[in-house]
Structure 1
Amino acid sequence: MSLALATLIYEWRRYLAAVIALAFSGLLILAQVGMFTGIVKGATATVDRSRADILILPAKLESLINSGATGLPARIQPQIYMNPEVAEVASWDGNGGRWTNVPKKGEKQVSEYISVMMVDPRKGAVTLPVDYPETVRVALLEPYAVVLDRTALKRLGVKVGDPATLRGHTVWVRGVVDGYPDINQATVVVSRDTFRMLGMMEKPDKTGPLMVRLKDPSKAIEVRDQLNAVSGGLYRAWTRAELSKANEGALMKEQIIGVFLGFSVFLGFLIGVGITSQTLRGAILANIKEFASLRALGVSMGSLRLIVLELSFWVGLVGLAATGVLTYGVYLLATHGGMPMGFPLNWVILVAVLLMAISLASGLMALGVLKKSQPADLLR
């Protein structure tokens, strides 16, 4: 065991402040990234958890996030079936309308504009998310039945079994699902038949994005390229994984989110360097006689500097581990509250590199203290 690691283990209290500073610097960034990514995952959960292997979007669309109209000409749907690998094609339509609950005595009336998404409640349907319970699927077979994410019940002022008004029609809350929150606008899910009865199929010559299930999912990239080759510029085919990655990237490119994350990185760096460097400096000063003893034994100043840098390296690793524990705790709290979180690998790597850079930079800033480790001081 190296001297630096032994020092950290036996005098861990001296370095605890540095570890905590690094951990909270990392958490400051990762928590925001996880929240923003979770917003995307909640908004696109129906697509991400569908049985679709390929998604068909308008040619110029780069994602489903803040991308504008997603409608396609209805004539495209039968064209997709011309590929021999295609097993099922279905449109994923959405619309919106005014929602008003029917409050009981003493309850508050809620009236707000909501999003309405549709699924096909047929067993194994390409638009039906794989994690929908069977009870929810059966409930959606009922005309005018709606399903909400659990987090939207209070927001819309209803419970399971309650009636409400949507676009002037009476609908009934027949089930709840988890993991489909939408922070911007509450969303309800209906069957395709209910969607039509609510008058939301406004343009028969237009459909929403198309979900495509293949006979062999392993051929998704091959079929995507084949569909794009014959699209004539009318649409663009995406694999589900490719679209999910594009959705996450689109949110991170939003200017306001970029400002938030950039400020968090800057603030985390300042806090981390400020506290970690002072902690290392104080710990070295507390052990200055030990460093002086090493110099008296013939250890060079260069070797002592390497010990300090190695010590800062180990502090950085422990800080990384603490960041992981704290981030996991935040993840558990968020998911327990119905808010999904996601941590893209590139951001995790960025935070890991940043924390190690903070720790090593702090070690470099603390090297000046070693000048006080004069062997002659041991005689005083």
Structure 2
Amino acid sequence: MSLALATLIYEWRRYLAAVIALAFSGLLILAQVGMFTGIVQAATATIDRSRADLMVLPANSESLINSGSNGLPRRLAPQMYLHPEVVSVAALDGGGGRWMNRPKAGEKRVTQFVQVDVVDPIPGAVTLPVDYPEAVRVALLEPYAAVVDRSSLARLGVALNDQATLNGKTVTIRAVLDGYPSINQPSVVVSRDTLRLLGMSDEGDKVGPLMIQLRDPSRAVIVRDQLNAAADGRYRAWTRPELAKANEGALMREQIIGIMLGFSVFLGFLIGVGITSQTLRGAILANIKEFASLRALGVSMGSLRLIVLELSFWVGLAGLAATALFTSAISVLARSAGLPMGFPIGWVSGVAVLLIVIALGSGLMSLGVLKKSQPADLLR
């Protein structure tokens, strides 16, 4: 065990403030990234968990987030079947509507705008999420049946088997989902037939993005390239993981979100450097006689500087571990409250590098204290 690591282990109380400062610096950034990523994952959960291997969007769309009109010519849907590996094609349909509950005595009336998502309650349907319980699928077969996530029940003012009004027509909550929270507008899931009965189905020349199921999902990239080669500028095919990454990237590029994340990174950097450098400086001053003893034994100043930098590195790793612990706790608490969080590997790696840089930079700022480690001071 190195001297630097042994010092950190046996005198951990002196370095605890630096570790906590690094942990909260990382948490400040990752909590916001997790929240914004969770918003995207919640909005696209029905797609991400579907049986679709490919998604087809208009050629100029870069994601599903703020990409403008997603209309595709309706004739493209049957044309997808011309590829021999395509087994199922369905349009991503839905919309928005005015929701009103029917409160019982003493309950509050809720009126708000909701997002309406569509699935086809047919076994193995490309739009049917793979984690939908069979009871939910069967419930959606009933005309005017609706399904909502458990976290949205209170916001919508309903419970299982309650009735409500959607765009002036009566729907009944026939099942409750878990794991499909809505961050902004509450989401209501209905079947395609129910959407048509509600008068919300678009029967025009345009359809929403197309969801495609392949005979062999492992060939998704190959089929994507083949479809794009034949697109002639009419559409663009995406693999589902590719589109999910693009959705996250599009949200992070939003101006207000970029400003918030940039400010968080800057603030986290200042907090980390300020507290960590002062903590390391104080800890080195407290051990200045030990460093003086090492110099008296012939250890060079360069070697002492390396010890301090190594100590800073270990403090950085301890801060990373604490960041992971705190972030995991926040994520669990958020999920228990119905708020999903996601942590892209790119951001996690970036924060890890930032914390190590802060720790090493703080160590460099503390090297000047070593000049006070004079062997002659041991005689006083």
TM range (shorter): over 0.9
8 A contact 1:18–1:315 mirrored in 2? yes
Q: Secondary structure at the match of 1:121?
A: coil
Deviation of residue 308 (structure 1)? 0.6
In the TM superposition, what whole-angstrom CA distance separates every residue of 1:227-284 from its partner, at most 9, and x where no partner exists?
A: 1122222211111111011001000000111011100100000000000011101111
Deviation of residue 203 (structure 1)? 3.2
In the TM superposition, what whole-angstrom CA distance separates every residue of 1:79-128 from its partner, at most 9, and x where no partner exists?
A: 00000000111111011111100011111111111111110000110000
Task: State the match for 2:229 in structure 1.
Answer: 229
8 A contact 1:309–1:364 mirrored in 2? yes
Task: State the match for 2:174 in structure 1.
Answer: 174
**CA–CA distance in structure 2, aligned partners of residues 159 and 333 of structure 1:** 24
Task: State the match for 1:300 in structure 2.
Answer: 300
Task: State the match for 1:255 in structure 2.
Answer: 255
8 A contact 2:183–2:339 mirrored in 1? no
Specify every segment of 5 or more residues in structure 1 that has no aligned partner in the other structure, as ranges.
none
Task: State the match for 1:70 in structure 2.
Answer: 70
**CA–CA distance in structure 1, aligned partners of residues 304 and 233 of structure 2:** 65
8 A contact 2:119–2:190 mirrored in 1? yes
Task: State the match for 2:118 in structure 1.
Answer: 118
Note the aligned Cα RMSD (angstroms).
Answer: 0.9
8 A contact 2:58–2:236 mirrored in 1? yes
8 A contact 1:179–1:339 mirrored in 2? no
Task: State the match for 2:157 in structure 1.
Answer: 157
Deviation of residue 207 (structure 1)? 1.5
How high is the TM-score relative to the length of structure 2?
0.98
Query: Does residue 1:208 correspond to 2:216, yes or no?
Result: no
**CA–CA distance in structure 2, aligned partners of residues 374 and 56 of structure 1:** 71
8 A contact 2:17–2:276 mirrored in 1? yes
Deviation of residue 152 (structure 1)? 1.1
In the TM superposition, what whole-angstrom CA distance separates every residue of 1:6-29 from its partner, at most 9, and x where no partner exists?
A: 111110110000000001100111
Deviation of residue 313 (structure 1)? 0.6
In the TM superposition, what whole-angstrom CA distance separates every residue of 1:279-300 from its partner, at most 9, and x where no partner exists?
A: 1011111111111111111111
Task: State the match for 1:194 in structure 2.
Answer: 194
Specify every segment of 5 or more residues in structure 2 that has no aligned partner in the other structure, as ranges.
none
Q: How does 1:1-380 map to 2 (within 5 A)?
A: 1-380=1-380
Percent same amino acid among aligned pairs?
74
Amino acid at match of 2:99: W
Q: Secondary structure at the match of 1:212?
A: strand
Pairs aligned (count): 380
8 A contact 1:224–1:237 mirrored in 2? yes
**CA–CA distance in structure 2, aligned partners of residues 332 and 94 of structure 1:** 31
**CA–CA distance in structure 2, aligned partners of residues 57 and 178 of structure 1:** 28
8 A contact 1:54–1:237 mirrored in 2? yes
8 A contact 2:55–2:212 mirrored in 1? yes
Amino acid at match of 2:20: I
How high is the TM-score relative to the length of structure 1?
0.98
Amino acid at match of 1:95: G
**CA–CA distance in structure 1, aligned partners of residues 277 and 323 of structure 2:** 18
8 A contact 1:23–1:322 mirrored in 2? yes
**CA–CA distance in structure 1, aligned partners of residues 364 and 202 of structure 2:** 66
Deviation of residue 179 (structure 1)? 2.2
In the TM superposition, what whole-angstrom CA distance separates every residue of 1:116-164 from its partner, at most 9, and x where no partner exists?
A: 1110000110000001111111110110000111111111111111000
Deviation of residue 219 (structure 1)? 1.0
In the TM superposition, what whole-angstrom CA distance separates every residue of 1:151-201 from its partner, at most 9, and x where no partner exists?
A: 111111111110000111100011111222222211100001001100112
Deviation of residue 204 (structure 1)? 3.1
Structure 1: which 4+ aligned runs deviate by more than 3 Å?
A: none
Q: Secondary structure at the match of 1:70?
A: coil
Q: Secondary structure at the match of 1:65?
A: coil
Q: Secondary structure at the match of 1:81?
A: helix
**CA–CA distance in structure 1, aligned partners of residues 323 and 258 of structure 2:** 22
Deviation of residue 205 (structure 1)? 2.1
Q: Secondary structure at the match of 2:82?
A: coil
**CA–CA distance in structure 2, aligned partners of residues 317 and 288 of structure 1:** 24
**CA–CA distance in structure 2, aligned partners of residues 355 and 315 of structure 1:** 10
Amino acid at match of 1:260: M
**CA–CA distance in structure 2, aligned partners of residues 88 and 203 of structure 1:** 20
8 A contact 1:14–1:283 mirrored in 2? yes
Q: Secondary structure at the match of 2:366?
A: helix
